[in-house]
Structure 1
Amino acid sequence: MIRVIWLVLFSLSLLYGGNERLLDSANAYNHINRINKIPQSIVINSSAIIIFPTFVKAGFILGATIGRGVMLVRDDVDEFYSDDNLTRHLNSNWSAVPVRLGGATIGLQAGYENNFLVMYVMNPAVIKDIYDNKLTLNASASVSFMDYGTKNEIVSDIGFSDIYIYTNNSGFFAGANLGGSVITVDDKIRFNTNSYGYKQLMHAITVVR
């Protein structure tokens, strides 16, 4: 009987933990978009959007980076929209996949930082690498760490990078802390597509600013 109760509680923790992550991701995405000038071309041409509402760096000499988030993968849509990427984006369906990020650092460091990260994946091959647990930032994929006030003319060639990363801190911070980090699927979490958090997140990513 105790084992059954434990299993029920464990299952509920996975479900509600997932729902909280979805809502936190929606809030983080909205915040990142408010403080950064993200080119529309990046948003509507992305194959997936990865959001980490919690990205933590902590340590003293030896450190670690840890993130828990969600990857939204754009599902195939009707070819009717193939020549109109904005309309395609607004009508896209998305699959929500729980993901985690981790890495180790060494050097002169001390303290604790917690930030938001939003990653726009332009190359579909990156998504497969995440599913296969073999994506290492700056090693398996070309990455551009964007900073406040990025303008459209700066990102004139969408094919330049596999991933564009925005944060509520500086692009320098992101680049310094993410090198060598690995993104994998977090199979310990379940998402409820009928939850309030899921609906808020779907609304957030379909708004093009």
Structure 2
Amino acid sequence: MDETAHARAAFREGIGDIVPDPLRRRLEGVLESASMTPGALTVLAATTLDDAADLDIAARRGAGVQMSYEGLRLSRDLIHTDPWANGDRTEGDLNAIAAEVLVARGFEYLAHTGVAMDVVEAVRQFGRDQTHRENATQAERTSLDRQLEAAFVRIAVRAGADVALGSIPDQIDGVADELAAELSTDPLPRSETALVGVPERLSTAIASPDTTTPGEFSQSSGT
């Protein structure tokens, strides 16, 4: 199964109704250039933890994670480059709107799921980090920026577990934290690299006798 293709298709479907056309084309450009690691990791986690997981739901969740991340990443680029100060106001305005649309659509896809508040906290943390970054050293700035990638790698694993198990066991959180530390680079590694070995790590974690079985303690909707 190609987790990346499924996440990409759900992302493309999610922006298909966006108008006007220039904005939709800008969003399509974001998709084409993106590392699909957050979306693909969501799908992989779901199908690894429950091989009967609904693939459409997993892909939609993956698209929601990917959209939220891409929107904040685009916002970060705007903060750092300030295209308005460089005279490229039209491009800056279009990218600012694109970032807002992506975050909003990502929220829509992840509402009423087990990671909805994770994304809210990621947005809040992003704002705090970018504020602190203004007076930070270069090393501190790099560390602050990497927290965005770390947050969404972690959210991706948790979103997949939520689809498969209806909850997010501590063992899976442990794997999520490990992957967040390993993969939080800017840009994110491509999904074909990032996903190597992940199924085995998730399967080992889920083999613990304390881990929730699929379907138990479900707290999220089926969308």
Q: TM-score when scaled to structure 2?
A: 0.27
Higher strand share: 1
Q: TM-score when scaled to structure 1?
A: 0.28
